[in-house]
Every structure is written in C-alpha cells, then in structure tokens.
Structure 1
Amino acid sequence: MDLSNCFAQVAVERKHEEECDEDNYLYCEDCEKMLKNGCSVHSFKVPNSRMKWGMPKRAQRTCPRGILIGMSDILIGKSGSWTIIDFSKNTVFGPYEGEYIDQHNMQRFCPSHEGGYSWGIYKNGKLSHYIDGGDESKSSWLRYIRRARNEEEQNVEAFQFQGKIYFRTIKNIAKRSELLFWYDKKYAEFLGLLTKEASRKKMEELAPKPFCLF
C-alpha cells in the first residue's frame, strides 16, 4: 500500500490548520516568544465601552476609562484620541469597529472614507475584507487615532488578532498624550490599510471598461 499520498495529505491539512491558527497567536517581547491568545502577564487589555450600533456619536461613546476624544495636534480641525491617565507599555485597545466591506464591493466607498478609516483583514495570508470606520455611528473610538508625522512620534501600533484590528502601546504613555501610530507606504500595504491613493487605484481597477467589438 502506497502511503505517500496519505502522508502528503496529512501534511497539507496540518499546514492549513497552522495557517488558520496563526491569527490566535501574538508575540510577547518580554517573553520573547509567540503565545496563543497573547501574553496574560505582560499585556493589559482595555476593551471598548459597549454602545448601541448606529447611535449618534457612537465612536466617541465607546471610549474606555482613561481615553478622551479632543482636537488633534496632528491634523488641524480633526479629532484625536487623548489619554487622561497614564498607560503602561503593552496596553491593548480595541477592537477597531466598522462596517464589513467585501474587497470585491469597493464601490460602496465614498470619498469621506478614504485616507485611514479602512483596515484590511487577512485570512491565511490573503486579504479577506475591509473594516471601514468612516461612519462615526458604526465605528469605535480607535478611528480617531491619528497617523504620526514621523516614526519617532509613534506610541501605539496596529495589529490583527482573531480577525480583528487592535492597537497596542509600544511604550509607557503619560496622561495628556495623543495616541499616534506610524506607517510608511510599504507598511500600509502590509497592514491592508486603505489609503486615499490605494482607494482610488482600486476604484479605477473596478470601473467598467469600454466595450469594443474590434
């Protein structure tokens, strides 16, 4: 009996299980290893306040204790996320909430959604869909975390865990600080963050092409 095909099939199935399970692991710098469901010793989770979906100003109302939405120092005239208490390194905020947008249904986006409110969710290394936080009544307070002007200003980072986007502090953050994340163009593509340029390009790709018989 030739068992080579059986062993090959088992190997494929195990690899698939490992890929599916990767989303449940997080790396802990202090433990220096990947841990399933994250590290319970060196990280502290701060969940969103629960609010009714679709209610006015829902995003602001989901702020947990210690977070306040005020005017950003980075984007003039825009809101930002501010700390009103001290937060230690490895504090996890989230999840980022928004509307589910299938990658093949990009026509649903409008210009107000471009430029940083949409995050890509990956499954088995491939883009699955976007979470769009453009609508304040259907999002969470993390939509107000702004991009830093440079990498040195960054104090939080975004990451995917169990099919959702979270933000994690990368240093101790004192009260009265604005939460800021950083990404360059290449890293934005890795995160699946739908930037204004990427959004327009995607819309152009999906636009109907003129039909010609010759």
Structure 2
Amino acid sequence: MMGSVLPAEALVLKPGLKPQGLSLAEVITSDILHSFLYGRWRNVLGEQLFEEKSSPKTAFTAEVLAQSFSGEVQKLSSLVLPSEVIIAQSSIPGEGLGIFSKTWIKAGTEMGPFTGRVISPEHVDLCKNNNLMWEVFNEDGTVRYFIDASQEDHRSWMTYIKCARNEQEQNLEVVQIGNSIFYKAIE
C-alpha cells in the first residue's frame, strides 16, 4: 500500500488564522504539499511526527478525500474497510484512489479474498484494460478462471490496492489460497 496521507497534526493552522473563509491554497503550506507528494510524515518544522510504534491520526475520511471525484462518494460509501486502512487519493499522479495503512500491518498478514466476477479464460477480452483482474490457477499451472473487479457492483476495498512501481515500494504480494486470491503483507 503505497503513497501517503496527511496526519491531522500537519494541518494545524498558524496562530491567528481562522479556518472560515480560507481556501485550501491559503491553508496548505509547502511542507504539507511536500509531505503529501513524497510520502513523508512530517510536521511543518520537518520533524518526525511519530515513532515506529505509534500510529498516526489521519485528517481525512474517505468521503472528504473523494469529493473531487465525480460520483465517487456514493460508490465508496458502500465499501467496508478494515480498521487498519483508509481509502485516499494516491500521491502518484494519475493513479486516483488507493488503499493506505493507518497502522503497522505485521508481515505475513493475509487480506482478502479479492472479490469480483468469475470469468472463464475464453471470455477474457485481451484488448481491454484488465488491471482489476487476477488469475486463479489449477494445480498444473493452467488458468482456471479470472476474478474481475472492473464492475463497480463487484468491487471491495481490495480493488483499490495499487501495484508497486518498483521493488522498493513493494510491501504486499499476491497469493492464491485454494481458489481465492489474497494479498499478504511482506514488510
């Protein structure tokens, strides 16, 4: 789960400023912007906000963060999220919403199963964007079927987990247990 969200403490206004009538441009400092874009949990002085064992408080709910996405609030309101994660805008340009951990998730923790519509291999459209789809394999390594979460009525919170762009960002792996797909925390 990559990216970052801002801790509530990062949004402390300067003394004397009243939040009424201020635009976001007047409230968001360069430090807050840097924190959001580059995944650093820092306050306006650049100090670490929390130690490894504590969990940061986030300043936004899924509804607040999703307001800029047309119709996205209604779609997200039916999602049931584990208490350890939130859904928020990815810090990666063009990636949209993603899942982010609010607390440390122990290596080996399995999350799932990934839900969606079951599609047989012969019904997969290879010309279509299939990035919300996972294969389920038979014991001999052949594809048994695909689980497709591209239709909104088949989505769960796991649909919004983004793939890592490189090895350094990777903190989950995809595992098949029986005929189901799970994500497993690796760090």
* Counterpart position of 1:132: 148
* Counterpart position of 1:146: 162
One-letter amino acid of the counterpart of residue 153, structure 2: S
* Counterpart position of 1:120: 135
SS in structure 1 at match of 2:168: helix
One-letter amino acid of the counterpart of residue 82, structure 1: F
One-letter amino acid of the counterpart of residue 101, structure 1: I
More helix by share: 1
TM-score (norm 1): 0.48
More strand by share: 1
Distance 1:60 1:71, change over 3 A: farther
* Counterpart position of 2:117: 99
CA contact (8 A) 1:59 1:136 kept: no
- The match for 1:62 among 77, 80, 93 is 80
CA–CA separation in structure 2 for the residues paired with 1:110 and 1:65: 37
Deviation at 1:62, TM superposition (A): 2.8
Quick check: 1:169 aligned with 2:174? Answer: no
Deviation at 1:162, TM superposition (A): 1.2
Deviation at 1:98, TM superposition (A): 0.4
Computing the radius of gyration over CA atoms, which structure comes out larger, 1 or 2? 1
SS in structure 1 at match of 2:122: coil
Quick check: 1:79 aligned with 2:97? Answer: yes
Quick check: 1:90 aligned with 2:108? Answer: yes
CA–CA separation in structure 2 for the residues paired with 1:100 and 1:59: 24
Deviation at 1:89, TM superposition (A): 1.1
CA–CA separation in structure 1 for the residues paired with 2:146 and 2:77: 18
CA–CA separation in structure 2 for the residues paired with 1:59 and 1:100: 24
SS in structure 2 at match of 1:104: helix
CA–CA separation in structure 2 for the residues paired with 1:147 and 1:164: 18
Distance 1:59 1:93, change over 3 A: farther
Deviation at 1:151, TM superposition (A): 0.7
Identity %: 28
CA–CA separation in structure 1 for the residues paired with 2:159 and 2:77: 8
Deviation at 1:65, TM superposition (A): 1.5
List structure 1 segments (4+ residues) > 2 angstroms apart after TM superposition: 56-60, 74-77
Distance 1:160 1:58, change over 3 A: farther
CA–CA separation in structure 2 for the residues paired with 1:110 and 1:99: 18
After superposition, the C-alpha distances for 1:118-168 in whole angstroms (9 at most, x for unaligned) are: 110011221111000112221211111112221111111111001011001
After superposition, the C-alpha distances for 1:84-117 in whole angstroms (9 at most, x for unaligned) are: 122111111111000011111124x884xx1421
CA contact (8 A) 1:155 1:170 kept: yes
**What RMSD in Å do the two structures reach over aligned CA positions?**
2.2
CA–CA separation in structure 2 for the residues paired with 1:59 and 1:129: 29
One-letter amino acid of the counterpart of residue 113, structure 2: P
